Amino acid sequence: MRSLLTTILLTACCGLAGCGSLLATMQADTIEEDRGERTLGMMVEDNNIETKAIVNIHAADEAFHDAHVVVVSYNGYVLLAGQVNSEALKAQATAVVRKVRGVRRIYNELEIAAPSSGMTRTSDAWITAKVKSWLIGAKDIEGTRVKVTTEDGVVFLMGLATAAEADRIAETAAGISGVQRVVRLFELID
């Protein structure tokens, strides 16, 4: 029984090994990548970047424990938002994140201020929920390609969008009650 199973598995593996060659010789159409689509691997990599960055930031200096730092990654584009108590900590956060593998670009939007209050964070979460709800309901925009983060009334928009989509998303977000400013950090896919 064991040798039969081994024979079947080896036959299957050998048959699968030629799939790419078979497609190439059959004059199949070209395989094109959809630049507006993220792979599961990209999503996992972004999650790893976020985890490593926030852990390493807090390990870099005790003063970060008294700060409010948010790290968001989308296709290796990293947003640092929140509040720290000095320009030195702001610069240190960038230096720490720069060392994380997979980071393509860093947007350091940290403010030199006391950490935001619980009430402000609740308001920010409500604003984020309203923007995401609109994105999910929008018929002509792929809302799952956009990450929304709100800090102290400032809405940060990251993700993949055409120029027209980016304009429409930013315009809609700016019109939501409580939004102070909208920062567009899109990777354009025109």
pLDDT in tens, 27-74: 666 666 666 678 899 999 999 999 999 999 999 999 999 999 999 999
Distances (CA, A) of 132 to 87, 170, 187: 32, 12, 18
Instruction: Check residue 34 and give its pLDDT.
Output: 60
Q: Any bridge partners for residue 80, and if so which?
A: 71, 108
Does the pLDDT value for residue 163 go beyond 90?
Answer: yes
Binned at pLDDT 50, 70 and 90, residue 4 comes out as low
Binned at pLDDT 50, 70 and 90, residue 174 comes out as very high
φ and ψ at 84, to 5 degrees? Answer: -130, 165
Domains along the sequence of the chain with CATH: 40-112 (3.30.1340), 118-188 (3.30.1340)
Which are the contacts of 10, defined by CB distance < 8 A and separation ≥ 6?
none
